[in-house]
């Protein structure tokens, strides 16, 4: 089971019409509102903790204010939530663990979702994330240390699996056809405690 210490919110910005992704640590949200700033400088709204809920207060693409209260377990536990405006019922964006949100943003029908320069090869990235998600679903990603707790970080051309307990990192290339084929052959990923390896080297003993 992949445990993410981070969440991502992807919101359509009413000012520049772009999709802005905000990634934050679960521990950084308090009762003090966390401002969600778009790269264009527009403040999309805020996020804060409110007793047993999380309050998301944002502006929709139509410029209407939308306030959503999410119970704790949903906010922490759901891999992906489609955020709908309680007023208009229209999509505001997505909230969830970073790879799931990145995946839906890549796969999204709106072409504004797909920023060509976000990833070296969006198609390969989507396949690699999907493969990792499948492995995680079947408990096939773990660290050999005492308290395996694997998070995932997504970059321009690679993905990093990080053990939050021992700091072990595995980098997985996600930009070429070879990367795509390599990950498709992997049945299980067992991370060595506190080391940093490329998946290519790591696979050698198995081939
Ligand atoms: Zn903007
Ligand atoms: Zn570990």
Q: What is the pLDDT of residues 84-94, one digit of tens each?
A: 888 777 788 99
- 95, part of any domain: yes
Mean pLDDT calculated for residue range 94-98: 89
- 20, part of any domain: yes
Number of domains in the chain: 2
Strands 141-143 and 189-191: parallel
Same domain (yes/no): 159, 65 = no
Residue 141 clears pLDDT 60, i.e. is over it? yes
Q: Which residue has the higher pLDDT, 24 or 43?
A: 43
Ligand 2: distance of its center to the CA of 196 in Å? Answer: 11
Ligand 2: distance of its center to the CA of 116 in Å? Answer: 34
Ligand 2: distance of its center to the CA of 157 in Å? Answer: 24
- pLDDT (0 to 100) of residue 22: 93
pLDDT in tens, 58-67: 998 888 889 9
CA 32 from chain centre, in angstroms, equals: 23
The residue out of 78, 110, 142 marking a domain boundary is 110
Ligand nearest to the Cα of 144, by number:
2
Residue 5 clears pLDDT 70, i.e. is over it? no
- 78, part of any domain: yes
The residue out of 65, 87, 110 marking a domain boundary is 110
Residue 150 clears pLDDT 90, i.e. is over it? no
- 117, part of any domain: no
pLDDT confidence tier of residue 51, bands split at 50, 70 and 90:
confident
Ligand nearest to the Cα of 149, by number:
2
- 93, part of any domain: yes
Mean pLDDT calculated for residue range 77-87: 82
The residue out of 77, 110, 143 marking a domain boundary is 110
Length of the chain: 207
Ligand nearest to the Cα of 11, by number:
1
The whole-angstrom separation of Cα 13 and Cα 188 is 39
- pLDDT (0 to 100) of residue 198: 46
Residue 54 clears pLDDT 80, i.e. is over it? yes
- 177, part of any domain: yes
Domain that holds residue 183: 122-206
- Of 82-96, 113-127, 130-144, 172-186, the range with the highest mean pLDDT is 172-186
- 66, part of any domain: yes
- 91, part of any domain: yes
Same domain (yes/no): 126, 106 = no
Same domain (yes/no): 102, 131 = no
Same domain (yes/no): 100, 145 = no
The whole-angstrom separation of Cα 4 and Cα 108 is 22
CA 207 from chain centre, in angstroms, equals: 31
pLDDT confidence tier of residue 14, bands split at 50, 70 and 90:
confident
Ligand 1: distance of its center to the CA of 39 in Å? Answer: 6
């Amino acid at each position: 089971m992949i445990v993410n210490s981070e969440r991502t919110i992807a919101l359509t910005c009413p000012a520049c019409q772009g999709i802005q992704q905000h990634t934050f640590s679960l521990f950084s949200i308090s009762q003090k509102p966390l401002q969600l700033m778009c790269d264009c400088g527009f403040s999309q709204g805020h996020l804060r903790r409110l007793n047993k809920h999380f309050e998301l207060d944002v502006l929709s693409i139509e410029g209407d204010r939308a306030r959503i209260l999410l119970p704790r377990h949903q906010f922490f536990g759901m891999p992906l939530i489609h955020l709908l405006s309680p007023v208009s019922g229209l999509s505001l964006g997505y909230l969830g663990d970073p790879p799931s949100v990145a995946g839906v943003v890549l796969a999204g029908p709106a072409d504004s979702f797909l920023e060509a320069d976000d990833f070296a090869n969006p198609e390969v990235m989507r396949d690699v994330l999907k493969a990792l998600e499948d492995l995680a679903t079947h408990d096939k990603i773990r660290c050999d240390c005492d308290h395996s707790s694997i998070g995932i970080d997504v970059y321009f051309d690679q993905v990093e699996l990080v053990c939050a307990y021992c700091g072990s990192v595995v980098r997985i290339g996600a930009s070429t056809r070879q990367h795509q084929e390599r990950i498709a052959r992997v049945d299980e990923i067992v991370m060595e405690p506190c080391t940093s390896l490329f998946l290519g080297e790591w696979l050698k003993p198995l081939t």
